[in-house]
Amino acid sequence: MFNKLFAEWLGTALLLAIVIGSGIMAERLSDGNVAVALLANTLATVFGLYVLIEMFGPVSGAHFNPAVSLVMAVRGELPALQLPAYVAVQLLGAACGAWIAHAMFDLPVLQWSAKLRGGAGPWIAEAVATAGLLLVILRFPSARVSSGVAAYIGAAYWFTASTSFANPAAVFGRMMSDSFAGIAPASAPGFVMAQLMGALVGLVLHRLLGVR
């Protein structure tokens, strides 16, 4: 059990360090061009996700995401008693990843985002992004989940109004970064609720499509 929890903590920390760190670097180098910054942030996240899932998948399942862990618990693939521990280490890992990113770029380690994100469009986008993510995880052959998830999230960065957080732990970590990738704490509850609803929608759609 320790190995699984450690893998979830470390993988989530590295994921948030990638997302936030690449956002900081992209913002510094893009000279105010938001499209270029988002493209750079997207590419780093796509490559990082693929590597992290390949690395930690055999240990913990490489959830890095409370919504994914919740669905796996509902399906019986994660023991229900392990769900709270998975979520706790994912949230802690997300916070640690934000702090690591700040330290690497000589920013104040402890900070809060002031970037407000919300409204019907972004909430719908988060539900769609998370539902699609769960469909990829549940429908893809296990050997191709890493590439499927990376490709889907890369696409969702651009086709969703929210730039596809699709992960309550990511929201938690990004609250703690007043950077390109940040989200204000006041905006977080709406994103998390939309993600949890989207995860359940993804599970329902998977069942309607029939078990692989």
Query: What are the tens digits of pLDDT across the range 154-173?
Result: 999 999 999 999 999 999 99
All domains of the chain in start order, with CATH: 2-209 (1.20.1080.10)
Q: What is the pLDDT of residue 118?
A: 85
Mean pLDDT of 17-27: 95
Predicted TM-score (pTM) of this structure: 0.93
The contacts of residue 84 (CB under 8 Å, 6+ apart) are none
User: Mean pLDDT over all residues of the chain?
Assistant: 95
Q: What type of residue sits at position 123?
A: W
Q: What is the pLDDT of residue 212?
A: 65
Tell me the Ramachandran region of residue 93: left when phi exceeds 0, alpha when psi lies from -120 to 50, beta otherwise.
alpha
Q: What is the pLDDT of residue 54?
A: 96
The pLDDT tens digits of the residues spanning 3-13 come to 999 999 999 99
Instruction: Report helix, strand or coil for 116.
Output: coil
